[in-house]
């Protein structure tokens, strides 16, 4: 048995605490929206103020982990290394819901996060959904897309090297496409018949399987499925123990290009 096994029990408990505060947050969001509406009525004379209000839309994010089970034992081997065992491994489905699709970096930074979450990197589950949203901007606003991807994947502030925009080759691979017409097909309700427009609020399902666990104990792989593709994709989530207390508390995804693979049009 490994000295340091991945256990998502603490993570799941934290996510449960997040869920308990969602109702209260939703009420607060409703009050905020009502207040914003009053402000908009008062500022109809000033077009600039109206435009600013539209840009500052408030997006609410929630996480449902009721589909996960814990206390699962998962064995991992690569044919060369010894097998590793993860006791307390989480298996099942997580559902992330966004009230609207973020279109800018400011939209992401100003999101109403689940209770107990101060940053999108406090949980492994928000960032993959936000990657899809960022890729949706790839051919609407290239620079905004890059800013969003850098922030979500922490590439603008690499915690290991401090290098800004550390993977420029990724941009050439992404922008080899002319468009990504079906990128929103990772969200529920998006079909070819409706032009790949998802239902609102936007929901995305992520699966933890026995293949989510690898020989690297700081990586967990979330499986997500596009309705435009036959096979699901894996998003790798890197996990950090920033305060050295033996528990992972910082999460960021790395391979967003997997999401665009075979969906792009040349």
**Beta 61-76 vs 84-98: how paired, if at all?**
antiparallel
Task: State the pTM of this model.
Answer: 0.77
Residue 157 lies in a domain: yes
Number of domains in the chain: 1
By residue range, what is the domain housing residue 167?
9-19+60-260
- What are the residues facing 68 on neighbouring strands? 92
Residue 137 is predicted with a pLDDT of 96
Q: Answer whether 125's CB lies under 8 Å from 235's CB.
A: no
Residue 35 lies in a domain: no
Residue 216 is predicted with a pLDDT of 85
Residue 199 lies in a domain: yes
Residue 266 lies in a domain: no
Residue 4 lies in a domain: no
Residue 235 is predicted with a pLDDT of 94
Question: Which strands make up the sheet holding 84-98, listed edge to edge?
Answer: 61-76, 84-98, 202-208, 219-224, 233-240, 250-253
Residue 49 lies in a domain: no
Residue 217 is predicted with a pLDDT of 86
- For the chain (266 residues), the mean pLDDT of every run of 10, in chain order, is 43 47 42 37 45 67 96 81 82 97 96 92 95 96 92 65 57 90 97 96 96 89 96 93 90 90 92
Residue 28 lies in a domain: no
Residue 215 lies in a domain: yes
Residue 30 is predicted with a pLDDT of 37
Residue 36 is predicted with a pLDDT of 38
């Amino acid at each position: 048995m490994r000295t340091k096994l991945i256990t998502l029990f603490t993570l799941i408990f934290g996510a449960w605490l997040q869920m308990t505060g969602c109702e209260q947050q939703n009420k607060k969001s409703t009050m905020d929206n009502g207040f914003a509406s009053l402000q908009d009525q008062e500022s109809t004379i000033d077009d600039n103020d109206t435009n600013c209000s539209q840009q500052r839309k408030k997006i609410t994010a929630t996480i449902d982990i009721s589909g996960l089970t814990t206390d699962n034992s998962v064995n991992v081997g690569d044919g060369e290394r010894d097998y590793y065992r993860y006791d307390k491994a989480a298996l099942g489905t997580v559902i992330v819901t966004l009230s609207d699709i973020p279109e800018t970096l400011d939209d992401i930074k100003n999101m109403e996060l689940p209770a107990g979450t101060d940053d999108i990197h406090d949980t492994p589950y928000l960032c993959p959904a936000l990657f899809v949203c960022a890729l949706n901007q790839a051919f609407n606003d290239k620079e905004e897309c890059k800013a969003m991807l850098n922030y979500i994947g922490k590439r603008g502030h690499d915690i290991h090297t401090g290098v800004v925009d550390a993977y420029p080759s990724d941009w050439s691979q992404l922008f080899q496409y002319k468009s990504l017409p079906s990128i929103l097909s990772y969200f529920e309700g998006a079909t070819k018949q409706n032009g790949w427009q998802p239902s609102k609020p936007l929901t995305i399902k992520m699966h933890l399987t026995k293949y989510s666990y690898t020989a690297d104990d700081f990586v967990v792989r979330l499986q997500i499925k596009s309705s435009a593709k036959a096979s699901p994709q894996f998003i790798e989530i890197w996990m950090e123990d920033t305060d050295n207390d033996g528990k992972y508390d910082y999460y960021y995804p790395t391979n967003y290009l997997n999401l665009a693979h075979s969906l792009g049009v040349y």
